[in-house]
């Protein structure tokens, strides 16, 4: 059975004083109850409360600290909502308004937007990874190819699991429409300063992949030198005014300004999902939940289970696919995605042992660092980088046995090619069009599956083989005196 994502967390009294960002200290965060229901708090208090409680709640639930979560919930929801009285000036009319806002909000458009953005994030990584993979000439860079392929397969898994989350809350996911296509070069929809694009296999493209997969934590447990692979509240006292900060615009703005890694995006997204589940419980029961058991089922989880893609229906070769029917399922999905991306248990390792080649048991970030630095982690000596607790910076390079890389054994593809580049070459234009149609067919198969026809997913293997052949057909042909053609991953047009 797949190991859960477990990180060491601070004791409960310390954890409740933690903050979202490492440079931010929240001395006296407002209560979770006030954050959700009090429309008289200031925007500053709302933001700081969101940082504090998203970090606290997520750390507990995504690390399976259920008993501690129950204690946290009871400490935050001990009083009735009607007891919220920030000042003596709060009239009965305004006290009534306190209960509105988030309670009356339709969560579906908000979660649809935020979850579709998660799908876009996962989707945005797949074409760049496949482009670099396909650009490697046959018979070369075998280990590097295996590492890139393993990550690309897991990103496809992540995208499908986010679709499962959407279906669980009765929101139809979409992966194959024009608006669902990434446009390269692009920035991921977070607070990042780098661009993601379609490039040939090179140290530059691998460096971009490292940036994409950057962990949230700055430190990681250093592998042992003789390591064997493991299986491893206070209310605002400002003038009272009614505000409703729980809007899609504010929630997305918070993410754009405070989220810098994919893992952090999933943390805040998970917090939003739990918030809407709390509100659903309150509306159904007239009281606030006190335990995880009360929150786990029902509420926003009204989806058709027939639309869930289950493990036996997924034909990818890496990771485990989780179906979602309650909050526990969302936790499993986000644990899987975060563990594969940035590591589990504060280590460089993925949440399960490798089923592939050497290096594939690592989280994505560390797999790409092995390629970039041309060495494996396992077997390296990290004592010079370690602190007294055996932790080392995530930026520490691998120092194990060599991982041979021939950076010249890749087609010199033009970065971020477009179909417009092939207008004057009928053969290249036809090949580019055929590739884009095959990629659309792949996405159509996934779309059909998440709409309830899971057998369509079987076709994905055939399309993946065809994509590689068509991509190589493009990359092996000169476009100009110094660059070759390449796949564009654009939405096909007639």
* Whether the predicted pLDDT of 303 surpasses 90: yes
Confidence at 231, pLDDT banded by 50, 70, 90:
very low
- pLDDT score at 242: 55
Length of the chain: 494
Say what the pTM is.
0.86
Question: Percent of the chain beyond pLDDT 90?
Answer: 69
Confidence at 62, pLDDT banded by 50, 70, 90:
very high
* Whether the predicted pLDDT of 196 surpasses 70: yes
Closest-CA residue to 321 (of 337, 307, 306, 305): 337
* Whether the predicted pLDDT of 490 surpasses 50: yes
CA dihedral 417, 149, 211, 117 (to 10 degrees): 70
Handedness of CA 489, 491, 492, 494 (dihedral sign): negative
- Per-residue pLDDT of 383-441, as tens digits, reads 999 999 899 999 999 999 999 999 999 999 999 999 999 999 999 999 999 999 999 99
Q: What is the mean pLDDT of the chain?
A: 85
- pLDDT score at 345: 59
Closest-CA residue to 58 (of 334, 294, 352): 334
* Whether the predicted pLDDT of 3 surpasses 50: no
Confidence at 223, pLDDT banded by 50, 70, 90:
confident
- How are the residues of the chain apportioned to helix, strand and coil, as percentages rounded to the nearest 5? 50, 5, 45
Question: Percent of the chain beyond pLDDT 70?
Answer: 81
Confidence at 9, pLDDT banded by 50, 70, 90:
very low
Distances (CA, A) of 358 to 146, 343, 354, 471: 9, 16, 8, 26
Cβ 107 vs Cβ 151: under 8 Å: no
- pLDDT score at 410: 98
- How far is Cα 121 from Cα 124, in angstroms, rounded to an integer? 5
- pLDDT score at 316: 59
- pLDDT score at 28: 63
User: Using DSSP, how many helices (H) and how many strands (E) does the chain show?
Assistant: 15, 2
For residue 404, with 0-12 CB atoms within 10 Å meaning exposed, 13-18 middle and 19 or more buried, which class applies? exposed
- pLDDT score at 164: 97
Handedness of CA 358, 337, 25, 16 (dihedral sign): negative
For residue 389, with 0-12 CB atoms within 10 Å meaning exposed, 13-18 middle and 19 or more buried, which class applies? exposed
Confidence at 31, pLDDT banded by 50, 70, 90:
very high
- pLDDT score at 237: 34
- pLDDT score at 24: 37
> Is 167 or 217 the better-scoring residue by pLDDT?
167
* Whether the predicted pLDDT of 228 surpasses 60: no
Cβ 300 vs Cβ 277: under 8 Å: yes
- pLDDT score at 86: 38
* Whether the predicted pLDDT of 92 surpasses 90: no
Confidence at 342, pLDDT banded by 50, 70, 90:
low
- pLDDT score at 27: 42
- pLDDT score at 16: 42
Where are the chain's structural domains?
Answer: 413-494
- How far is Cα 17 from Cα 52, in angstroms, rounded to an integer? 8
- pLDDT score at 23: 36
* Whether the predicted pLDDT of 19 surpasses 90: no
> Is 87 or 142 the better-scoring residue by pLDDT?
142
> Is 466 or 88 the better-scoring residue by pLDDT?
466
Residue 391 φ/ψ, nearest 5 degrees: -100, 150
What is the three-class DSSP state of 483? Answer: coil
* Whether the predicted pLDDT of 271 surpasses 70: yes
Average pLDDT on 295-318 reads 88
- Per-residue pLDDT of 113-172, as tens digits, reads 999 999 999 999 999 999 999 999 999 999 999 999 999 999 999 999 999 999 999 999
* Whether the predicted pLDDT of 352 surpasses 60: no
């Amino acid at each position: 059975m797949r190991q859960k994502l477990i990180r060491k967390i601070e004791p409960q009294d310390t954890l409740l004083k933690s903050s979202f960002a490492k440079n931010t200290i929240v001395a006296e965060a407002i209560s979770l109850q006030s954050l959700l229901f009090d429309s008289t708090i200031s925007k500053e208090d709302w933001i700081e409360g969101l940082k504090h409680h998203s970090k606290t709640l997520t750390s507990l639930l995504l690390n399976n600290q259920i008993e501690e979560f129950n204690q946290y919930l009871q400490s935050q929801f001990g009083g009735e909502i009607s007891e919220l009285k920030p000042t003596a000036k709060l009239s009965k009319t305004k006290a009534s308004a306190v209960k509105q806002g988030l309670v009356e909000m339709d969560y579906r458009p908000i979660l649809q937007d935020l979850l579709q953005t998660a799908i876009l994030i996962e989707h945005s990584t797949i074409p760049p990874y496949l482009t670099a993979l396909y650009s490697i000439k046959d018979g070369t860079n075998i280990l590097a190819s295996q590492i890139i392929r393993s990550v690309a397969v897991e990103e496809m898994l992540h995208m499908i699991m986010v679709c499962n989350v959407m279906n669980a809350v009765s929101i139809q996911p979409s992966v194959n429409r024009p608006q669902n296509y990434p446009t390269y070069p692009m920035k991921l929809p977070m607070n990042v300063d780098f661009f993601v694009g379609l490039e040939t296999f090179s140290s530059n493209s691998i460096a971009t992949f490292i940036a994409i997969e950057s962990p949230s934590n700055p430190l990681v447990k250093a592998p042992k030198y003789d390591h064997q692979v493991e299986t491893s509240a206070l209310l605002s006292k400002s003038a009272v005014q009614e505000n409703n900060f729980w809007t899609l615009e504010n929630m997305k703005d918070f993410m754009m300004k405070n989220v810098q890694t994919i893992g952090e995006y999933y943390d805040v997204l998970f917090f939003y999902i739990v918030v809407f589940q709390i509100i659903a419980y309150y509306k159904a029961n007239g009281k606030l939940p006190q335990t995880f058991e009360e929150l786990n089922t029902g509420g926003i989880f009204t989806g058709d289970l027939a639309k869930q893609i289950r493990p036996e229906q997924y034909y990818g070769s890496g990771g485990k696919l989780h179906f979602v029917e309650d909050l526990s399922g969302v936790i499993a999905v986000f644990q899987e995605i975060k563990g594969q991306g940035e590591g589990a248990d504060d280590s460089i390792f993925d949440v399960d042992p490798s089923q592939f080649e050497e290096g594939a048991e690592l989280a994505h970030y560390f797999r790409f660092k092995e390629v970039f630095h041309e060495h494996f982690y396992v077997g390296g000596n990290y004592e010079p980088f370690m602190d007294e607790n055996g932790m080392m910076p995530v930026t520490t390079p691998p120092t194990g046995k060599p991982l041979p890389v021939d950076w010249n054994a890749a087609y010199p593809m033009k970065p971020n090619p477009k179909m417009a580049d092939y207008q004057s070459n009928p053969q290249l234009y036809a090949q580019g069009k055929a590739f884009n149609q095959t990629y659309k067919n792949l996405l159509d198969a996934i779309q059909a599956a998440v709409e309830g026809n899971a057998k369509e997913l079987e076709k994905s293997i055939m399309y993946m083989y065809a994509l590689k052949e068509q991509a190589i057909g493009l990359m092996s042909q000169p476009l100009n005196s110094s660059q070759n053609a390449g796949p564009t991953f654009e939405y096909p047009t007639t």
